[in-house]
Amino acid sequence: MDLMRSLPLGLYLEQPRTWLHRLDPRTKLVWLMTFLIAPILANNPWRIGLAGMLIVITLTALIPLRVWKQQMGLLLFFCTVLFVMTLIAPDGLVLDHQPRLPAENLAIAQPYEYVLWQFKFITITRLKLDLGIKLSTQIFTLLYSTNLYLLTTASEEITAGLESIFGPLRRFNLPVTETLLTLTLSLRFIPLVLEEIQNLIRSVRTRAIDWKKLGLKQGFQLWLLVSEKLLENLLMRAEQIATAMDIRGFTSPDKHLVQWHKLRFRSWDWIFLTVLIPFWYLRFSLG
């Protein structure tokens, strides 16, 4: 088991470099916030359109099949199961529908139908259909837009973009650089955590422990020792990082210049930022 390669979400794709990689991280961050905010109070066609837009972006970016199948396949499966379960589950409303019009006028008036489809114990209503679309599309949009941003943006680019956006907050004596340095170290520390967990799991497997004979109490004690060893190794890694920064002369942001990433808006960035104007116009007029 390789945790560094088997995790379905949050991995950065170094090769090949797609057109999403070449966009400025600030542009991608603005579009990420757009995808996170746009589904709020939106109608169902707009929510479905946002999910379809993310799929189209993934396909046009020519991300390798092995990557997006692993990244998007599990999430699509989960959202589909959530949609189906919402349709099958009771909606919590016990309605005894009684038409207000006479029987001879029902065919002409075409009254509102709350129950859309019914077969034995399965009843699909408008409320369950609406709720299923909202839940599945919103979860897919929120998770996959964030994952696509992390997939095509390196941690240094994320930090540089955030520092450029929140730079004016330095006037209020807020520690912008220190906070973003902590964020960068946290993002860089995640692979170290996965590596330590992977090494400990492999060390336990190589010992061929018979868990049935070990019992519940002794098994719990063993995993407690493994967790203690994991914490010890992580603290040692953190101390090594702090020592490395100290040796390289890092003291404070005003004395040590931190170069995260060289930012520059290109023509494609301005085009994508300009597209935001008709996007939000359609959102408020149609969505």
Per-10-residue mean pLDDT of the chain, 287 residues long, equals: 52 79 87 89 87 88 77 79 80 55 50 65 75 86 86 81 80 78 75 78 75 72 81 83 74 59 80 88 83
Cα separation, 139 vs 52, in Å, equals 13
pLDDT at residue 123, as a whole number = 72
Three-class HEC string of the chain: CCHHHHCCCCCCCCCCCCHHHHCCHHHHHHHHHHHHHCCCCCCHHHHHHHHHHHHHHHHHCCCCHHHHHHHHHHHHHHHHHHHHHHHHCCCCCCCCCCCCCCHHHHHHHCCCCCEEEEECCEEEEHHHHHHHHHHHHHHHHHHHHHHHHHHHCCHHHHHHHHHHHCHHHHHHCCCHHHHHHHHHHHHHHHHHHHHHHHHHHHHHHHCCCCHHHHHHHHHHHHHHHHHHHHHHHHHHHHHHHHHHHHHCCCCCCCCCCCCCCCCCCCHHHHHHHHHHHHHHHHHHHHC
Q: Is the peptide bond before 16 cis (omega within 30 degrees of 0)?
A: yes
Domain ranges of the chain: 1-92+108-154+261-287, 175-258
pLDDT at residue 168, as a whole number = 82
pLDDT at residue 177, as a whole number = 75
Global pTM value = 0.72
pLDDT at residue 109, as a whole number = 47
pLDDT at residue 106, as a whole number = 46
